[in-house]
A and B are shown apart, each in its own frame.
Chain A
């Protein structure tokens, strides 16, 4: 089945440790996005990538890093510099070229990160 996978669904880490969240898609989409959601809030954009080997900071990039070495994968690292890392993290992808679903972002199921 085509889709976006994020694993694991729940992740626990000790304060001060870096942690990498995975995001994989087999939809052949060019653009990929990382969002953060806090309780009762909307999504906020962390980083996005419109093409392989290129990415841009979103609105809240501090304390995070990404890479885009493959079209299918866009891992997010939450570093120890992120002051409040506990949150629900969502990955999304979007096709780059005009198609019926050109403007639609497809979201993964999310990873809930808890830093103890």
Chain B
């Protein structure tokens, strides 16, 4: 299973875009990149996932580099409720297991 590397923490001003980076240099061709977030003492919440192409949904956009070794999660207009730990995960294709790292604590400032 490929490992991911994320910054420990980031700050973002309310109303601005939050760009959360993730490195996954050992990702293999059939492994997806997933993003989840966890608000304190709650279960993680799915945000978005992708394989090669950029993806967008009602919550966020996912930009994956052409070599697939890194990706960026974009929250276009961060609010205070987006303060959470964001996990970038590479999903095992064989078992569908999610391997969680320590994530990035995003603090949205008023």
Contacts and interface: CB of A to CB of B under 8 A. Distances in A.
Interface of A: 4, 31, 35, 40-45, 48, 50, 56, 58, 88, 90, 92, 94, 103-110, 112
Given A42-B102, A110-B43, 16 more contacts: A4-B43, A31-B96, A40-B102, A42-B87, A42-B100, A48-B97, A50-B96, A56-B95, A90-B44, A92-B43, A104-B46, A105-B44, A107-B43, A107-B45, A109-B43, A112-B41
Contacts of A43: 44, 98, 100
A52 to B, nearest CB: 17
Contacts, number: 49
A43 B97 CA distance: 11
Nearest to B32: A103
Contacts of B46: 104-106
Interface string B22-53: 00000000001010000001111110010000
Interface range for B: 20 to 34
Contact of A109 (B32, B34, B42): B42
Nearest to B45: A107
Contacts of A58: 97
Interface centre among B41, B43, B102 (most CB of A within 10 A): B43
Contacts of B7: none
Given A103-B32, A103-B49, A103-B91, A42 B41 contact: no
Interface in B53-81: none
Nearest to B98: A105
Contacts of A105: 44, 46, 98
Contact of A42 (B49, B96, B97, B103): B103
